[in-house]
Amino acid sequence: SPFWTHIVQTWNSTNDLRLYIDNILVASLSSATTFRASGIMPNYVTLASSLLGSGSCLAGAIDVTSSFTGSVDNFRICSRELSAIDVCTLYIS
């Protein structure tokens, strides 16, 4: 398909969790203040259902029928929270 979707997720202990799709803030979660690495279990980034194979994420709405299907062209993890301006710059570049 010639179409692509630009997805950015940011997190900060004061600005919470934010999801941008095609440069538009589509969701935010203000209670995500404990999103940090654990010494017991590694943290994972997934593009589909839960790692346990249960078919759904604990607090999300992703299930087996709506798992990610497609290709990933570019994937980045940044050492700081991206601002809305940063997200826009990535989107238009």
Provide the whole-model pTM: 0.64
Q: Residue 35's closest CA among 6, 5, 59, 66?
A: 59
Q: How many other CB atoms sit within 10 Å of the CB of residue 65?
A: 7
Please identify which residue in the block is written with the tokens 């941008």: 20
Residues 50 and 63: their CA atoms lie apart, in Å, by 8
pLDDT by position in tens, the chain (length 93): 578 889 898 888 776 788 899 999 988 877 655 545 555 555 556 665 555 555 545 554 445 555 666 778 888 888 888 999 999 999 998
Q: Which residues contact 37 (CB under 8 A, 6 or more apart)?
A: 43
